[in-house]
Structure 1
């Protein structure tokens, strides 16, 4: 049975800088302690130990995996935690040598010995593996989890298809989606909405998607209005704020709504629109790199592509766009992401950056195509084109940080999504030689052929050709 995946699984609110290296381990630590509570073992804990393996260990410091684990152990929710307090909470753990598990049980915790990064060893099943040990008077209780991309976490041996929903329009491959839409005369958004009702009410779907959009929008706004140097040792200067000021000149605003109205009044000059697209994308991923609140779409490293393309859509293509238009965009984008999750990977540790920026670009291209009136076939064509031109993209973060080349890549992914949409809207899908399903299969084959050093290890590519002196995040 193929895994049933909701668009809310593909679009999750969380904390940067990485969905697989930050959000996943955070959720794993939280899940582990809650499972110990359910099993009646939580109160017996006297000490704990965590071991991170493979890619999680190799880029763990730069991706803030250590910080994420500590926040999960504290019981913090990545969707609601006050991101401005993360540094202070982590500092307290490190200075006191204690940790208050789930804010309910304080124990000794020495990070140097109790949180081990074992980069030379990889656990079976996935590159992002982690083991948790609870020490009690009766011995050790061991649990193993894997962060498989996009904030998804599975336990060792867990069957993710055991509690599946019965959907009116099940789709194992994108060809199924096209069949449903053609047979029922439905847009992709309407088909996906019908499936989503297997999980949620109509109001919950609409409100949930608007909450996701408002989180994206706030992230763009904050990033466009925050100067400074990103932490981590690379001394990367934030550029979105200065570009935003340059584009708006002397115009002033006090909130995101006023800011967006000013952007909508911008002239539709190609060069200016292109600068805004870059500004939006840089803004989101500078926030992501600074442990800000972002929407995993489908990952944190690629969090800037979809909000950028939505901003492009309603600031420059349809300035009268409604909430309903945004919801349609997100429904389509989320659905496209599920095909990559089911048939390939959305984890850079397994597939390189093609699995992150490539997938997000495909998602955004399909969403934009439907928003601009394209047919289901044209939306799938746009997704195919976007991914086709990301095939083989490696993940080589300099210093293990989600900064170089990650931040700029979101701008590239957004531009490719817009271009893919334009090509698809002016093409007949019947003439296409390549299908989305074939591109997904090719992407997965490429991922398996790719050398491990190009899969989020900082052991190849730019990461070994750029000399840096990186401190801990």
Structure 2
């Protein structure tokens, strides 16, 4: 599996990479398939069936909204998030949707987006079935897609392929499939993990373009923090959860001297950064999958900590942070999962914590062995973390859970930096353990809202 930094870090909208970004991407792919077959102008109706976790928590995750704006031709990284309510009200009010911005079709939200509760498609818990028909009701084209976490989408055919059936991939200067191979390459080449990953990225773009794209990712992350600190009111969805970031920001800003009395005030700022991002995510705002939307606050919070509180932080440090984090995320994507519907929240917050821990260790001068140690610590102490969102919303416990992941990542990095890099448990071992734990975990703890806090706390 050939992965880029920008597969792990995608600009999108909230509240979920698997339940919002993925379905939008799937809808876009379906439009492309219709266009390629010369069928778009013949379509009279489209029906979308949602299965597994998409059906169980799709309402709370705005999956139906994502499908509709995706069918309009809007894309996760470009859609104007402030216009989404207007688009949806227009569809509901008129009973029509402009397919790909070209063909006006009848579309009724209650009959054309179907939540198949309790039913799953065979290849992944997040399944979707798109069907386009003509005026006579004859199906012109249909396809199944799977949203496999972090905004990644596979068609039914792709999900069924083994490695021997896949098209040959371009050759990377430094190919690695696991942590041991990555560390060995670094040692043989005398390079850091960041240098290896950045060198690989140059097969897709020139250095200047690469750095521009990396800086944009950080700017979107930082923008999510800043917007989250400004916005007030309640989050959508019916839980009546009040935004906290604005008040916390005003309190911290008004008492800059507090850090002299309490050395841990810096953690209040880290908490703020994570809360701000995930409140934006919960409100359907612009965020970066890192590696998912549910965990979108961890890496920005730790990177903001580096940017604002670590002496000597620099633009190159931001690039190295993102590259190192991506390398670690690639290992989880290749060898386990970053989908809560597949392995629970250990695959989201746990992976984000591991990525952030290794990345922070790197930019604070850690060796490759210390970086691996930090990443291993970050996951080892998130093993078994369940995904049990109340009301199917990415709010409780998700927002606070991002603060825990960020603070834990900072501590993991500091623990690793205090050591010599030697550690008993390898990163590969903890990744495999996470995968096995996810397989053993009951489905009710995998983003279905049928277990844990979701059933022990009244949703409304």
TM-score (norm 1): 0.94
Q: Which runs of 5+ in 2 are unaligned?
A: none
Contact 1:287 1:293 in 2 (8 A): yes
1:353 aligns with 2:352: no
1:384 to 373, 376, 384: 376
Q: How far 1:5 moved relative to its partner?
A: 0.5
Equivalences for 1:204-353 in 2 at 5 Å? 204-249=209-254, 269-318=262-311, 320-353=312-345
1:443 aligns with 2:444: no
Tell me which residue corresponds to 1:91.
89
Tell me which residue corresponds to 1:257.
none
For the residue of structure 1 that corresponds to 2:146, the secondary structure is strand
Change (3 A) 1:268 1:305: farther
Contact 2:367 2:421 in 1 (8 A): no
Q: How far 1:429 moved relative to its partner?
A: 2.4
Change (3 A) 1:209 1:269: farther
Inter-partner Cα distance in structure 2 for 1:227 and 1:113: 35
Contact 2:322 2:359 in 1 (8 A): yes
Q: How far 1:37 moved relative to its partner?
A: 0.2
What's the CA shift string for 1:157-193, capped at 9, x where partnerless?
2148425221111010011110011011101111111
1:199 aligns with 2:204: yes
Inter-partner Cα distance in structure 1 for 2:266 and 2:307: 12
For the residue of structure 1 that corresponds to 2:236, the secondary structure is coil
Inter-partner Cα distance in structure 1 for 2:199 and 2:274: 31
Tell me which residue corresponds to 1:421.
413
2:447 to 421, 435, 456: 456
Inter-partner Cα distance in structure 1 for 2:65 and 2:172: 38
1:18 to 16, 19, 30: 16
2:44 to 43, 46, 51: 46
Inter-partner Cα distance in structure 2 for 1:145 and 1:163: 22
Q: How far 1:46 moved relative to its partner?
A: 1.2
Contact 2:14 2:285 in 1 (8 A): yes
Tell me which residue corresponds to 2:138.
139
What's the CA shift string for 1:377-422, capped at 9, x where partnerless?
1101100000000000000000000000000000000011001101
Q: How far 1:266 moved relative to its partner?
A: 6.3
Q: How far 1:153 moved relative to its partner?
A: 0.3
Q: How far 1:226 moved relative to its partner?
A: 1.4
Tell me which residue corresponds to 1:465.
456
For the residue of structure 1 that corresponds to 2:11, the secondary structure is strand
Inter-partner Cα distance in structure 1 for 2:73 and 2:260: 48
TM-score (norm 2): 0.96
Number of positions where the alignment pairs a residue of Structure 1 with one of Structure 2 = 453
Contact 1:26 1:68 in 2 (8 A): yes
What's the CA shift string for 1:290-333, capped at 9, x where partnerless?
00000000000000000100111121112x42211101100000
Tell me which residue corresponds to 1:176.
181
Pairwise CA RMSD: 1.5
Greater alpha carbon shift after TM alignment, 75-84 vs 408-417 = 75-84
Contact 1:268 1:316 in 2 (8 A): no
Q: Which runs of 5+ in 1 are unaligned?
A: 251-261
1:364 aligns with 2:356: yes
Inter-partner Cα distance in structure 2 for 1:439 and 1:164: 28
Change (3 A) 1:44 1:52: same
